[in-house]
């Protein structure tokens, strides 16, 4: 089971997250998500536990508990659906629209006047 862990301390590392959940069963992986440019924690992470019973027990035991001065949020991770996250939006056109009757803005031909 993949578990979401939110509101974690900026100081928490992958190994700390793994150790926290290992008290409740086998941990396959633990990852604190970091910003790719600053390498700073984004304040959340994911833990994967192969045994669903142990994972549910960990969720029940750890959700809302204080870890390094913060009350963490722990729940089953839901797959990201297509509607989640940012959507690329188009604001139309994308360029300069000449409103001078079709002439090119840099056209110096005075015969068009």
Under 8 Å between Cβ of 17 and 46: no
> Looking at the domain covering 2-72, what would its CATH class be?
alpha beta
* 41-48 and 2-6 beta bridge pairing: antiparallel
State the pLDDT confidence band at 23, using cuts at 50, 70 and 90: very high
Domain chopping of the chain, boundaries: 2-72
pLDDT in tens, 78-110: 887 665 555 555 555 555 555 555 555 555 555
pLDDT in tens, 42-53: 999 999 999 999
For 14-70, the DSSP string reads: HHHHHHHHHTTS--SEEEEEE-TTT--EEEEEEEE-S-HHHHHHHHHHHTT-EETTE
């Amino acid at each position: 089971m993949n578990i979401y862990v939110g509101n974690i301390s900026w100081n928490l590392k992958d190994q700390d997250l793994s150790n926290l959940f290992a008290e409740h069963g086998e941990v396959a992986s633990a990852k604190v998500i970091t910003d790719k440019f600053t390498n700073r924690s984004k304040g959340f992470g994911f833990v994967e536990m192969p045994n669903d019973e142990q994972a549910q027990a960990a969720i029940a035991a750890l959700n809302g508990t204080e870890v390094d001065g913060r009350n963490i949020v722990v729940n089953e991770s839901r797959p990201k659906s297509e509607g989640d996250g940012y959507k690329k939006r188009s604001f139309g056109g994308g360029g300069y629209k000449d409103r001078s009757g079709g002439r090119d803005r840099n056209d110096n031909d005075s015969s068009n006047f």
